Amino acid sequence: MTSKNDKLEKSKNYWLNEPNKFTDLYNTKKILHLPSKIFLKKRMEIIQKYLKEDNNATAVDVGCGSGEFANILKRYYGNVIGIDISDKMINLARKNSEKNITFQINECTNISLKDNSIDYIFALGLLDYVENLQNVFFEFKRILKKKGKIIITIPKNTSLFVPFRWSNKLRYILFDAPPVVNAISKNALISLIKNNNLELKELTSLWTTTWIALIVFN
């Protein structure tokens, strides 16, 4: 079985050096990519209900990739910031996105934003690949305003797709994607949220694979 460190290394290398492969999932015509495309569409249908128009709000897309979701956020929020570890992803995002979206290169555990400055944090498809979930949540809470909201997705630890997650070669061949680093049970996710003095407002199951959570800083 592949070690966590090996998966982290392969994952980080993918995001830093192969951003076009991920971007292609949004526009792919490959048959093997169709499940991913359907998944992204279903995920967006669920996320859509959390998007509330607020021209005075600042929303951050952490792990923004090539900027597709940041563009959607800009339709709802006055100020949108996209953050990614990959300079290549950020360059793609700047090229593909509206000029009034700010993009910056940051680790998700060391974000260059002020304390209590953000109204909404979105982390879609990010927590799958981070090293330490606790450290990420600590940083999210630091930049979030009181009454602010966090919307995350994270893989379930039990799924029909588990064999595809943990096999580096299989995921890369079939989906052009890196191995999943983190998957979590419902109870473990609830504990993670509570341990950071945050409140889980809503938890949705997407297929057998993914949790989508709305979290509030009360």
Number of H helices, E strands in the chain: 9, 7
DSSP state of 67: S
pLDDT at 13: 86
d(CA 33, CA 185): 26
Check if CATH label 3.40.50.150 holds for domain 4-216: yes
pLDDT in tens, 2-26: 688 888 888 888 888 876 676 666 5
Cβ within 8 Å of residue 178, ≥6 positions away:
7, 10, 11, 13, 14, 15, 129, 168, 171, 172
Torsional sign, CA 51, 57, 61, 62: negative
Mean pLDDT in residue range 180-201: 96
pLDDT at 25: 61
pLDDT in tens, 78-88: 999 999 999 99
Cβ within 8 Å of residue 74, ≥6 positions away:
80, 97, 98, 100, 101
Mean pLDDT over each residue of the chain, to the nearest integer:
88
